[in-house]
Amino acid sequence: MHVTHDDPGALRHACRSGAFTLPTAGHAGGHIQANLMIVPQADAFDFLLFCQRNPKPCPLIEVLAQGSREVQCAPGSDIATDVPGYRVYRHGELVEERADVAALWQPDFVTFLIGCSFSFEAAVAEAGIPLRHVVQRRNVAMYRTNVACAPAGRFSGEMVVSMRPIKSRDVARAVEISGRFPQAHGTPVHVGNPRAIGIADLMKPDYGDAVEIRDDEVPVFWACGVTPQWVSQRSRLPLCITHAPGKMFVTDLKG
């Protein structure tokens, strides 16, 4: 049975116990959800600079002190256990997915929480604009693009975007609503022809699940916090830990 978690603390505890392992879209509506990037301290300054230079895909919510696992905007949390799924990359290769990363924790780890477009979805839905991946209980479709990010130190690569089919008459409204959430990527980066940003086939997302685009709809693309995962691969970072796509850390902050 599908259970929707409205309370962010309860959702984090369900992740910690292993009871919740699904994408977090549609849960804890109105609360800010965050993408996760954990790197050794040696790479932390360059990544902070990368985020500052690329605020659309990487809007910073919080940076934890070196070695810390408790998120200030989610008191009592544990960043090593309270996400529904984690990915571990070494030298640019995805080496494993894990339910938690407590056993891998290092005292020099620095954690970055980056805004997620799931945070504005409740406001869009409340405006009467349905989101198909939420309705169908799927992960949002995400694609690598040919849009270059501004490099910083060893970090360089292209932007990843998330896509939502929106009825043509609702596009302007969806743009206006998402623009109220700069910490959740804000307004879209592209509307319409996917080939213009290097996407060959919308039915073959690089991350997440494909969804139907109907005749009266257009694809709308938002910058995506999976960008650091792709950039870490392109940059062959020795080690980083991220959330599994669509499986966010849910904060106590209200959007």
Q: What is the CA radius of gyration of the chain?
A: 17
* Across 20-39, average pLDDT: 87
| 1 pLDDT above the threshold of 50 | no
The per-residue pLDDT for range 80-105, each reduced to its tens digit, is 999 999 999 999 999 999 999 999 99
d(CA 119, CA 172): 18
pLDDT at residue 221 in the model: 97
Nearest-5° angle of CA 143, CA 135, CA 218? 50
Q: What is the full DSSP assignment across the chain?
A: -------HHHHHHHHHHTS--S--TTSSTTEEEEEEEEEEHHHHHHHHHHHHH-TTT--EEEEPPTT----TTSTT--TTTSSS-EEEEETTEEEEEES--GGG--TTEEEEEEE-THHHHHHHHHTT---HHHHTT-PPEEEEEEEEPPPBTTB--EEEEEEEEEEGGGHHHHHHHHTT-GGGT-S-SEES-GGGGT---TTS-SBS------TTEEEEEEE-TTHHHHHHHHTT-S-EEEEPTT-PEEEEEE-
Residue span(s) of the chain under CATH 3.30.2040.10 come to 118-228
Instruction: Name the residue type at position 111.
Output: T
pLDDT digits over 9-18, tens only? 999 999 999 9
CATH 3.40.1640.10 residue ranges of the chain are 8-116+237-254
pTM summary value = 0.90
Per-residue model confidence (pLDDT) at position 14: 94
Average pLDDT, whole number, for the chain? 92
Token pair of 168 as six digits: 């043509």
Residue 82 has a pLDDT of 97
Question: How many Cα atoms sit within 13 Å of 127 on the Cβ side?
Answer: 19
Q: What is the spatial distance between Cα 101 and Cα 79, in angstroms, rounded to a whole number?
A: 9
Fold of 8-116+237-254: PSTPO5379-like (3.40.1640)
Question: What is the rounded average pLDDT of the residues 49-59?
Answer: 96
CATH numeric code, 118-228: 3.30.2040.10
CA-closest candidate to residue 83, choices 41, 138, 37, 30 = 37
